[in-house]
Structure 1
Amino acid sequence: MAAAQATPSPGAPGGRPARLRSPVGLGWAVVVLLGLVILADLYALWAGTVQRGVMDDIIAGEYGAGIQRDLERADSLYDYSGIAQISALVATCAVFLVWFHRVRVNAEVFEPHIHHKTRGWTIGAWFVPVVNFWFPRRIALDIWDASSDRSVALDRTLTLDPTASRAPHPLLNAWWTVWVANLLIARVTYQVYVGAEEAEEIKSALTGVMFSDVLDIAAAVLAIVFVLRLTRMQDLKARSEDRLPVRG
């Protein structure tokens, strides 16, 4: 793909030109890290299953030193799984944001006039309360449309009408729906788990937390497909422009 090579976008905010840079390496890094997120979630599901088993024994009336050891082991496993999940999530978010900003800049080169949000929102939108539930999706939609075959080649002046109807985005919508649902459910179920004291309450709370882990896995899988497709779309679009040098 073209690396730091393109005519400055006429719609570049603040006069700073947008230039193409390959998203391929970053895209694969995000995919690998999302794979680690999935592994961490699977570990958490296993640890949750172990802890539920101990809760079943306690509910059944089993007591003693053996149960106490099992309980301590289950608690340790679950704590470790939480650390693994947080570590994988933080690393993935950091690299994903770098990738997301790069594909946004590339999209501005492809189609400078269809973007509803400035480049700064590419990072900031994820951290502003409330608006982070729809601004990132809006940005992703614009990036996708600018990178698709429907958009106009780099060396032409005609651009997509930003008010015109867009093609459906089933993959992006599915990923965003599952991700937001998991975000909301995870907050509620974690608070219930923290407040649980009796074995029955802990077991019930664990079921909710484990359900959110399953949703997180689904969101990660959809995110992998989204990242791979968008990265490939941008790479192919840049390579299709004969005037641009192709680089890995």
Structure 2
Amino acid sequence: MNDHLALPTLHPIQGAARCAIAALVLAGAAWAVRAVWQIQLAAAGQPPSGPPDQGDGLHRTLTALEDVYHVVSSLGDAATVLCAVVFLAWLWRVRGNARILSGQRPRYAEPWVYAGWIVPIANLWIPRGIVVDIHRASAPGERMPRAVNWWWGLWLVGALSGTGLMYTGTTDAVIARAYTDVSPLLLADAAVVGAAVAGVFVVRALTAVQQNHMHELLRRGAGSSVLGPSGPARAIPSSQAR
């Protein structure tokens, strides 16, 4: 009988964390630029010809400022999608590592890593719950970073404000709102930018505690470490694995 039973591989996370941080910074910057253009629209005022969408399927020719805002909005949407993909890739890795490090099944099943963001009602708490579980498994007994609550609170404001991340209206409708009442738009933008900044601290904190946990296990000799193409793997006595 083998003396050791190899556990699933612990994935390296520093590269994924750096990518997630860069994507968060990019998304935050994109939403900040969007806010700047909304302020410019509000300052310029609505043209005498009215909003871009004239109703009944009629649209007037866009002004130069409105045209640029369409480009800014599209680039911001692309940055947001990229950020979501990269952030979830990092989250998947640290969640997998947390399960191996703790030896316990996560509270939420794997599909919730993705579905938790889009299922109504459940998306109010499940993504934060996944992050909390990862931290507890990676740093048992340590206090939850305050950045987690800031990140999640700002995310909810930015996502559910009616003019932020989950806004389903057209860009022309946003332009019309900028002309008539820009404040809600700027509030949503500020919340999204704040969530991106707080998200950077969340990624840094969870990555750091997980790295420390891995290094501590190796220092104690809690298991043999094999550095393979996808990262270090742990092994434990087969009697413990039972």
Q: Could you tell me which runs of 5 or more consecutive residues in structure 2 were left unpaired when the two chains were aligned.
A: 49-59, 219-223, 233-242
Please state how far the C-alpha of 1:51 moved relative to its aligned partner. 0.9
TM-score, normalised with respect to structure 1? 0.73
**Counterpart residue number, 1:140:** 131
Paired AA for residue 31 in structure 2: D
Is residue 39–residue 178 contact of structure 2 (8 Å, CA) maintained in 1? Answer: no
- Separation in structure 2 between the aligned mates of residue 232 and residue 98 of structure 1, nearest angstrom: 17
- The structure carrying a bigger strand percent of its residues is 2
What is the aligned residue count?
208
- Separation in structure 2 between the aligned mates of residue 202 and residue 143 of structure 1, nearest angstrom: 40
Aligned residues: CA RMSD:
3.1
CA deviation vs aligned residue, 1:29-72 (integer Å, no higher than 9, x gap): 011111111221121122112211210786xxxxxxxxx99x71
Q: Could you tell me which runs of 5 or more consecutive residues in structure 1 were left unpaired when the two chains were aligned.
A: 1-5, 9-17, 59-67, 152-166
Paired AA for residue 119 in structure 2: V
- Separation in structure 1 between the aligned mates of residue 114 and residue 171 of structure 2, nearest angstrom: 31
Moved over 3 A (4+): 186-197, 245-248
Match status 1:239 vs 2:215: yes
Please state how far the C-alpha of 1:125 moved relative to its aligned partner. 1.8
Please state how far the C-alpha of 1:107 moved relative to its aligned partner. 0.4
Paired AA for residue 144 in structure 1: H
Paired AA for residue 31 in structure 1: I
**Counterpart residue number, 2:13:** 23
Counterpart selection for 1:42 from 7, 23, 32: 32
Please state how far the C-alpha of 1:101 moved relative to its aligned partner. 0.7
Please state how far the C-alpha of 1:27 moved relative to its aligned partner. 0.7
Paired AA for residue 104 in structure 1: R
- Where relative contact order (Cα < 8 A, 6+ residues apart) is larger, the structure is 2
Please state how far the C-alpha of 1:187 moved relative to its aligned partner. 3.8
Q: Percent identity?
A: 22
Counterpart selection for 1:54 from 44, 49, 56: 44
- Separation in structure 2 between the aligned mates of residue 196 and residue 83 of structure 1, nearest angstrom: 13
Please state how far the C-alpha of 1:93 moved relative to its aligned partner. 0.7
TM-score, normalised with respect to structure 2? 0.74
